[in-house]
Amino acid sequence: MSGKLGVVMDPIGDIHIGKDTTFAMLLEAQRRGYALYYMEPGHLYGRDEVPWARRYPIEVQRDPGNHYRLGPAESGPLTDLDVVLMRKDPPFDMEYIYQTYLLERAQDRTLVVNDPGSLRDANEKMFTAYFPGLAPPTLVARDARVIHDFLQEQEAIILKPLDARGGEGIFLVRRGDPNFNVAVETLTHRGTRFAMAQAFLPAAGEGDKRILLVDGEPVPHGLLRVPGGEDFRGNISAGATTELAELTERDREICARIGPELRRRGLLFVGIDVIGGYVTEINVTSPTGVQELDYYAGTNICGDLFDAVERRLGA
């Protein structure tokens, strides 16, 4: 298909082209004949009822250090693009929300992936609450006493911020841990911000399985991220190693429960994290893992994604 595709992302000059999922998306779109336009969040703006952007025509190639070429900047309404990929990484803060407001105003004529309203509503940590029985025991609170009582029940918990990514700001605390108070104070900013606590799953030592869903359907394999060294976090950015993982019956049950709701909300590209048969997060902002899975399994996940995009476009 030929058409116009814009991408909102962090600076493209800083990405690792051998791992970056957005880069893989751009390569696939370019292969399909889309004219590509690059935008950073600060390039978006609204004029009256119309969302606009300063955007740059871009070409991409798999050449380290020379992986993109930008054309001269131009300004135009987002509505003259066929597709916009929203791939800005968290933090999920008010600036991110303002970006979704601007993108949402283009949706009468432009397909935005993922749906901006759903990006606001489906918080990556808290969205698991919509699917009872799929997540481990979970608490969202900012009161240290409530979190302390939860720890006494669970014996060991994972504490995490609601707006970060890549394992940032995550603590493992056990009953009687002298660091409990400082961890809670740090995450809740002394009781002024909500944080999440989840029961610690011993199976985390065996790895955290990332499963990608395209328009509600899981890709054929998962990506197992195994913590490195003495770190408990299964995040690649925290030193985890990766390997191919088959989807279990439980994994498929989870996807069958979650998939229809993702499709209904316009969340075409989502990554869920599964540990020991429980979903710990539902990643909707800028899920990763495509290049690793394609390498291990010989798949073309971005091809599947653009097939879904073009079905939505009626192409």
Q: Which of 160, 178, 200 delimits the end of a domain?
A: 200
Asked if residue 195 and residue 213 are part of one domain, the reply reads no
Assess whether 148 and 195 both reside in one domain: yes
CA–CA dist 270, 287 (Å, integer): 6
In a domain, 106, yes or no: yes
Percentage of residues in the chain having pLDDT higher than 90: 91
Query: What pLDDT sits at residue 229?
Result: 65
How is residue 305 written in tokens? 């994604």
| Overall size of the chain counted in residues | 315
Q: What is the pLDDT of residues 133-145, one digit of tens each?
A: 999 999 999 999 9
In which band, very low, low, confident or very high, does the pLDDT at 169 lie, cut at 50, 70 and 90?
Answer: confident
| Residue 12 and residue 98 share a domain | yes
Q: Catalytic residue, from 55, 209, 210, 265: name it.
A: 210
| CB burial string 233-250: b at 16+ within 10 A, e below | bbbbebbbebeebebeee
Give the torsion sign (CA, 3, 102, 51, 9): negative
- HEC per residue, the chain: CCEEEEEECCCHHHCCCCCCHHHHHHHHHHHCCEEEEEECHHHEEEECCEEEEEEEEEEECCCCCCCEEECCCEEEEHHHCCEEEECCCCCCCHHHHHHHHHHHCCCCCCEEECCHHHHHHCCCCHHHHHCCCCCCCEEEECCHHHHHHHHHHHCEEEEEECCCCCCCCCEEEECCCCCHHHHHHHHHCCCCCCEEEEECCHHHHHCEEEEEEECCEECCEEEEEECCCCCCCCCHHHCCEEEEEECCHHHHHHHHHHHHHHHHCCCCEEEEEEECCEEEEEECCCCCCHHHHHHHHCCCHHHHHHHHHHHHHCC
- 103-131 residue pLDDT tens: 999 999 999 999 999 999 999 999 999 99
Say if residue 301 is in the same domain as residue 258.
Answer: yes
**What is the number of domains present in the chain?**
3
- The answer as to whether 246 is a domain residue is yes
The answer to the question of residue 130 being in a domain is no
CATH of the domain at 266: 3.30.470.20
Task: Please tell me the predicted confidence (pLDDT) of residue 240.
Answer: 76
Q: Does residue 218 share a domain with residue 172?
A: no
The yes-or-no verdict on residue 172 having pLDDT over 80 is yes
- Domain membership of residue 215 (yes or no) is yes
- Whether 281 is catalytic is yes
Catalytic residue (one of 114, 123, 235, 283): 283
Q: Is 160 a catalytic residue?
A: yes
Q: What is the pTM for the complete model shown?
A: 0.94
Task: Examine the domain organization and report whether 91 and 158 are in the same domain.
Answer: no
pLDDT of residue 251: 98
Q: Do 82 and 174 fall within a single domain?
A: no
Is residue 128 in some structural domain?
no
273 is catalytic: yes
The C-alpha atoms of residue 287 and residue 275 are separated, in whole angstroms, by: 17
Contacts of 231 (CB under 8 A, 6+ apart): 238, 239, 240
∠ CA 255-210-294, nearest 5°, is: 105
Among 153, 184, 200, residue at a domain's last position: 200
130 within 8 A of 186, measured Cβ to Cβ:
no
144 within some domain:
yes
Boundary of a domain, candidates 200, 228, 251: 200
Q: Does position 231 have pLDDT exceeding 70, yes or no? A: no
pLDDT exceeds cutoff 70 at 239: no
Q: What local confidence, expressed as pLDDT, does residue 315 receive?
A: 62
Catalytic residue among 88, 105, 233, 265: 233
Residue 167 has pLDDT above 80, yes or no: no
Per-residue pLDDT at 236: 57
Residue 106 near residue 27, CB atoms below 8 Å: no
**Average predicted confidence (pLDDT) for the chain:** 95
Regarding whether 233 and 177 lie in a shared domain, the answer is no
* Active-site residue, selected from the candidate residues 20, 163, 208, 273: 273
Are 213 and 196 contained in the same domain?
A: no
Determine how many CB atoms are found less than 10 A away from the CB of residue 41.
16
Which of 125, 165, 209, 265 is flagged as catalytic?
125
Q: Which of 55, 87, 105, 160 is catalytic?
A: 160
- Domain range holding 296? 204-313
- Tell me if residue 225 is catalytic: yes
Band (pLDDT 50/70/90 cuts) for residue 168 is confident
Domain CATH code at residue 145? 3.30.1490.20
CATH number for the domain that contains residue 92: 3.40.50.20
Q: Note whether 98 and 151 are same-domain residues.
A: no
Structural domain contains residue 127: no
Q: How large is the angle between the packed helices 301-313 and 21-31, nearest 10 degrees?
A: 60
Pair (90, 35) in one structural domain: yes
Position 258 in a domain: yes
User: The tokens of 272 are what?
Assistant: 């869920």
- Quote the distance between the C-alpha of residue 162 and its chain's center: 13
**Residue 190, pLDDT score:** 95
Please confirm, yes or no, whether 283 is among the known catalytic residues.
yes
**pLDDT tens figures, 60-110:** 999 999 999 999 999 999 999 999 999 999 999 999 999 999 999 999 999
User: Catalytic residue at 233?
Assistant: yes
Q: How many other C-beta atoms are found inside a 10 Å radius of the C-beta of residue 172?
A: 16
7 and 116 part of one domain: yes
pLDDT band at 227 (very low <50, low <70, confident <90, very high): confident
